[in-house]
Amino acid sequence: MAANDGDRAAARRRRLLWSGVLALVGLLLLVVGLTVADGATAWIEVIAAILLLVVSYALQHVARRETVYRPDDRR
């Protein structure tokens, strides 16, 4: 059972790491899209940034839900 808990903790950390990376890339694209880019390129970057930020939020939600809603006997 302890190995299973370790695997879950590692998966949670990995999800949180990837969500952080996606959030940083999304914010960077959003800044570039709103300040530097012009025309259609700017809209594509802004849409891609928003999608990355939504995916980042979803990964964080999944990782945290796993911790909050697990049974009390395994806490």
So what's the pLDDT on residue 71?
62
Q: Does residue 75 lie in a domain region?
A: no
pLDDT tens digit at each of 75 positions of the chain = 455 777 888 888 898 899 999 999 999 999 998 898 888 888 999 999 999 999 999 998 888 887 666 665 555
Q: Does residue 61 lie in a domain region?
A: yes
Query: Which residue range forms the structural domain that includes residue 15?
Result: 2-70
The pTM assigned to this predicted structure is 0.75
Number of separate domains in the chain:
1
So what's the pLDDT on residue 53?
93
Residue pair 48/40 in contact (Cβ under 8 Å)? The answer is no
Rounded Cα–Cα distance for residues 75 and 70 (Å): 8
So what's the pLDDT on residue 72?
59
Q: Does residue 56 lie in a domain region?
A: yes
